Amino acid sequence: GAVVSQHPSRVICKSGTSVKIECRSLDFQATTMFWYRQFPKQSLMLMATSNEGSKATYEQGVEKDKFLINHASLTLSTLTVTSAHPEDSSFYICSAAEGPEKLFFGSGTQLSVL
Amino acid sequence: GDSVTQMEGPVTLSEEAFLTINCTYTATGYPSLFWYVQYPGEGLQLLLKATKADDKGSNKGFEATYRKETTSFHLEKGSVQVSDSAVYFCALSHTGNQFYFGTGTSLTVIP
């Protein structure tokens, strides 16, 4: 089946630094990608919907200036956590839509901010 | 708003035991319901789905029935194997792309 590659799988950074997470669709073009976040013992929550060539749509409560999303090509979307703080430590996962009801997920990124 | 509640884990079972992971939902309208599975080091994979009331989704020996009257979509398997050890996510979607997930339930099957 289709594969979505997410990198890195784990990152540890110092408070105040920025971290970039990449999400690539390896064998299909994805006009839409989604970014989710999961805090411990909570649900995977949709953060934003990323459309190729246009601005991302953020869910309520998600700071667009803190979580920068770039979907510059049909196979790549990036999420940059700017000026990360310990409260941003979480599991981030992306998904890419090959078509209606054809959604594929990356393996996730565990971010730890010290 | 829409939401999904699933039983907390972790769940530890012996091989060949019966598995049930409970999932209930709150939603407007009639969403599709899904179970996703995440094996260690891999992305979430669709395990099964049901698109309307009373539908039963099934795959790899797992089953779940869309129960509108109880707003539930419990996952069951009659005899689990060590290879079923993974994290299981219940989810709903109206569009097929935008999902509402539960917290995930970690399952460990011991020989």
- pLDDT single digits (tens) A42-81: 888 899 999 888 889 999 999 999 999 998 888 999 999 9
Contact (CB<8Å) A34/B36: no
Kindly state the tokens that stand for B45. Answer: 């994979």
Instruction: With a cut of 70, say whether residue A104 has pLDDT above it.
Output: yes
CA distance A80 to A21: 6
Confidence of residue A2 (pLDDT cuts 50, 70, 90): low
What is the amino acid identity at position A18?
Answer: S
The mean per-residue pLDDT over the stretch A6-30 comes to 94
Instruction: With a cut of 90, say whether residue A101 has pLDDT above it.
Output: no
Check if the beta carbon of residue B73 is closer than 8 Å to that of residue B86.
no
Shortest CA gap B42–chain A (Å): 5
CA distance A86 to B52: 42
Confidence of residue B41 (pLDDT cuts 50, 70, 90): confident
CA distance A69 to B106: 30
CA distance A91 to A39: 6
Contact (CB<8Å) B96/A103: yes
Residues 36-75 of A with CB under 8 A from B: 36, 38, 41-46, 49
Q: In A2-27, which positions are buried (b, 16+ CB within 10 angstroms) versus exposed (e)?
A: eebbbeeeebebeeeeebebbbbbee
What pLDDT does A72 receive? 81
The mean per-residue pLDDT over the stretch B11-15 comes to 97
Check if the beta carbon of residue B47 is closer than 8 Å to that of residue B37.
yes
What pLDDT does A75 receive? 92
User: Which residues of chain A have a CB within 8 Å of the CB of B104?
Assistant: 38, 43-44
Closest residue of chain B to A108, computed from CA coordinates: B43
Shortest CA gap A74–chain B (Å): 16
User: Which residues of chain B have a CB within 8 Å of the CB of A4?
Assistant: 43
Q: What would the pLDDT profile of B58-105 be if each residue is shown by its tens digit?
A: 999 999 999 999 999 999 999 999 999 999 999 999 877 788 999 999
Contact (CB<8Å) A100/B46: no
What pLDDT does A1 receive? 60
What pLDDT does A43 receive? 83
What pLDDT does A34 receive? 93
